[in-house]
Amino acid sequence: MADLPDDVDKRVKRIVSAILEVPVEEIRDEHYFVEDLDAESIQSVELMAAFEEEFDIELDEQEAMAVKTVGGAVDFIRKCMQEQKS
Amino acid sequence: MTKYELKNPAGPNLLEEMFDYDSVPKIFFDGPIIEIIDGREVVFDPGEVQARDLVITDTTFRDGQQARRPYTVEQTVVLFRLLSRVGGPNGIIRQSEFFLYSNKDREAVDRCRDLGLSYPEITGWIRADKGDFKLVRTMGLKETGMLTSSSDYHIYYKMKTDRKTAMEKYLGVVEAAIESEIRPRCHLEDVTRADIEGFVLPFVQKLAKIAEQVPEPLRPKVRLCDTMGFGLSYPAAALPRSVPKLVYKIVHEGGIPPERLEWHGHNDFHKAHINGATCWLYGCNAVNTTLVGYGERTGNPPLEGAVFEYIGLKRGLFGIDTAALTEIAAYLRQECHMDIPANQPFLGKHFNTTRAGIHAEGLSSDERIYNIFNTTKLLNRPPGIIINDKSGIDGVALWVNYFLGLRGREKISKIKMAKIGRWVVDQYEKHGRITSVSEEEMIDLLREHLPEHYERAREKGVT
């Protein structure tokens, strides 16, 4: 299994903070993008686009848009990185 | 008065016998049409078009060229080949007429003939002058149209002659054509302003008499030319403007059968298309058309409109390749620099584009709601949407994929369109825009944010 960087969580939260304009220290894994962080539909897509760029991965649109929480995004990105690097 | 009770079926009644989505909507009639002609009831059965050999004829390279910059020989050849594909092996686009006056005209005829296509048959167009007639002979054509003006406006004011002299001249050229084994097609110019009983019928009856004495391939044809677009399709309209009565008179009193009769209309009163279709219904087999309706002044019946009218009336394709029309439109735009109006039915860029508050996802889930028929199947043109403040990223994604012609797994993920989507949202939320985003702006965004896809589309001629 290829090694994964251990700062995925931190980098995801930094992106979420920048796009949704929420202080990074207030973002928790269990936060829902829409319900808790007020993400609009365009922002949800911008988040996924930023994740692709940051982690150099390709996200499946349907799977990506099914991710609802910050922690879910971290897990999903880790899974994609694992699949695409192996 | 009949009282109607609400019926509330378990599922929708989509009237699919008429509106089968994968076909052109079929045209049905409830019964006969009755016209009063010369005080008598005349019954027309519109259903008999099913059996009659309706055809479309083309004058893109003759009348069509009188209204725009001339096509090059190469352009003519490409368009001619595409017209042949549209008309299919049964020759629904039966003939195409050409000028013969310049070297370029004649080269175009030679090059098109060299393609060896069965249809459209190439015919010529000349003035009613025996000198001009040599051109037809030289080019080896089997049929030519010739001007036989029929109204007094033309006979007295343009030709500066009288009816008797004009008719004798026309008949002389007709006989000369037949002697040279070329079928004459008499273009009754300005017939919707002519004296039908005092000139048109006497002339046409002479043509019918000549026809009795020659073999079928040489029998004169008649083209009814609604030169100024005065023709009327309405029941009970009076001659000479009544299209139904004109056709009836020429067939039943003039002695010219439907297969030797053709309608050539103009669009001065927005009636070119419907008058052509009306001719089909009342007993004329051929409707003369041009691509996009380009023709003298306001133009002629658009060929593409006649194609879909034909399919609706005949309730089938009969070998017609409708998708080739989309290739024609792309070629006309790209290579011939033709400015096809965006809302031109069947060929315009926005002909199947909806703007009115329709949700992209709704259109995507069941396009039948706002699309006239399966335009993807029949024209290789999926329905489009206009981007505005209601479109959202889903609308943007739908627009981009439709525009690029990408379907199924080829579709670009909306994740790749985040920047385009952001630009659109900001237009309305930050800049207070109230107009929809134009196609040109969307193309610019594509070029900037999805350059590889843009280039591919450009190579395919989509942009």
Structural domain spans, chain A: 5-85
Query: Which amino acid is present at B249?
Result: K
Residues on chain B touching A49 (C-beta within 8 angstroms): 415-416, 418-419
Residue owning tokens 């962080």: A37
What was the pLDDT predicted at A42? 94
Query: Which amino acid is present at B82?
Result: L
In Å, how far is B437's CA from the nearest CA of chain A?
A: 17
Q: Are B232 and B280 in contact (CB under 8 A)?
A: no
Peptide bond into B120 cis (omega under 30): yes
- Flag if A64 and B415 touch (Cβ within 8 Å): yes
B449 in A contact zone (CB under 8 Å): no
Distance between CA atoms of residues A43 and B407, nearest Å: 25
Distance between CA atoms of residues B299 and B293, nearest Å: 5
The helix/strand/coil state of B290 is strand
A63 in B contact zone (CB under 8 Å): no
Q: Are B83 and B117 in contact (CB under 8 A)?
A: no
Q: Are B448 and B389 in contact (CB under 8 A)?
A: no
Query: Which amino acid is present at B421?
Result: G
Distance between CA atoms of residues B338 and B291, nearest Å: 11
Distance between CA atoms of residues B117 and B85, nearest Å: 10
| B261 backbone dihedrals φ, ψ, rounded to 5° | -120, 140
Q: Return the number of other C-beta atoms located less than 10 Å from residue B358's C-beta.
A: 18
Q: Give the total residue count for chain B.
A: 463
Residues on chain A touching B422 (C-beta within 8 angstroms): 42, 46
Average pLDDT of the residues in A41-52: 96
pTM of this structure: 0.80
Residues on chain B touching A42 (C-beta within 8 angstroms): 392-393, 418, 421-422, 425
Measured CA to CA in angstroms, residue B145 lies from A24, B103, B110, B171, B440 at distances of 81, 19, 18, 13, 43
Distance between CA atoms of residues B403 and B414, nearest Å: 14
What was the pLDDT predicted at B15? 97
A57 in B contact zone (CB under 8 Å): no
Distance between CA atoms of residues B400 and B410, nearest Å: 12
Distance between CA atoms of residues B139 and B180, nearest Å: 12
Residues on chain A touching B415 (C-beta within 8 angstroms): 45, 48-49, 52, 59, 61, 64
One of 3.40.630.30, 3.30.460.20, 2.40.50.140, 1.10.1200.10 is the CATH number of A5-85, namely 1.10.1200.10
Q: What is the DSSP string of B315-336?
A: TS-TT--THHHHHHHHHHHHTS
- Flag if B393 and A45 touch (Cβ within 8 Å): yes
Task: Tell me which H or E stretch contains B57.
Answer: strand B55-58
What was the pLDDT predicted at B271? 98
What was the pLDDT predicted at B359? 54
Distance between CA atoms of residues B242 and B251, nearest Å: 14
A52 in B contact zone (CB under 8 Å): yes
Residue owning tokens 């009188």: B66
The helix/strand/coil state of B99 is strand
Helical residues (DSSP H) of B216-264, grouped into ranges: 243-248
Q: Are B352 and B371 in contact (CB under 8 A)?
A: yes
- What are the tokens at B430? 């930050």
Distance between CA atoms of residues B153 and B330, nearest Å: 40
Task: Tell me which H or E stretch contains B34.
Answer: strand B33-37
Cα within 13 Å of Cα(B292), Cβ side: 28
Q: What is the pLDDT along chain B (463 residues), one digit of tens a residue?
A: 999 999 999 999 999 999 999 999 999 999 999 999 999 999 999 999 999 999 999 999 999 988 888 999 999 999 999 999 999 999 999 999 999 989 999 999 999 999 999 999 999 998 767 777 788 888 989 999 999 999 999 999 999 999 999 999 999 999 999 998 899 999 999 999 999 999 999 999 999 999 999 999 999 999 999 999 999 999 999 999 999 999 999 999 999 999 999 999 999 999 999 999 999 999 999 999 999 999 999 999 999 999 999 999 999 999 999 999 999 999 999 999 999 999 999 999 889 987 644 456 566 657 888 889 999 999 999 887 788 888 888 889 888 988 887 877 888 999 999 999 999 999 999 999 999 898 899 999 999 999 999 998 788 766 5
Q: What is the DSSP string of B154-187?
A: IIIIIS-S-HHHHHHHHHHHHHHHHHTT-EEEEE
Distance between CA atoms of residues B248 and B381, nearest Å: 39
- Flag if B414 and A64 touch (Cβ within 8 Å): no
What was the pLDDT predicted at B364? 60
B18 in A contact zone (CB under 8 Å): no
pLDDT confidence bin for A3, thresholds 50/70/90: low
- Flag if B418 and A49 touch (Cβ within 8 Å): yes
ipTM of the prediction:
0.93
A64 in B contact zone (CB under 8 Å): yes
> Helices B103-114 and B73-87: crossing angle, nearest 10°?
40
What was the pLDDT predicted at B365? 55
B82 in A contact zone (CB under 8 Å): no
- Flag if A52 and B419 touch (Cβ within 8 Å): no
Query: Which amino acid is present at B140?
Result: G
Distance between CA atoms of residues B415 and B249, nearest Å: 66
What was the pLDDT predicted at A2? 53
Q: Are B224 and B191 in contact (CB under 8 A)?
A: yes
Query: Which amino acid is present at B441?
Result: E
Of B392, B413, B419, the CB nearest to A61: B413
Q: Are B78 and B290 in contact (CB under 8 A)?
A: no
Residues 6+ apart with CB under 8 A from B281: B33, B44, B46, B49, B244, B313
Q: Return the number of other C-beta atoms located less than 10 Å from residue A10's C-beta.
A: 11
- Flag if A45 and B419 touch (Cβ within 8 Å): no
Distance between CA atoms of residues B250 and B203, nearest Å: 10
| B335 backbone dihedrals φ, ψ, rounded to 5° | -95, -30
Which candidate in B414, B420, B449 is best for mutational testing of the A interface (most A CBs within 10 A)? B414
Q: Are B308 and B24 in contact (CB under 8 A)?
A: yes
Virtual CA dihedral for B253, B259, B260, B262, nearest 10 degrees? 90
- Flag if A49 and B393 touch (Cβ within 8 Å): no
Residues 6+ apart with CB under 8 A from B57: B93, B94, B95, B96, B97, B120, B262, B286, B287, B288, B289
Residues on chain A touching B421 (C-beta within 8 angstroms): 42, 45-46
- Flag if B414 and A46 touch (Cβ within 8 Å): no
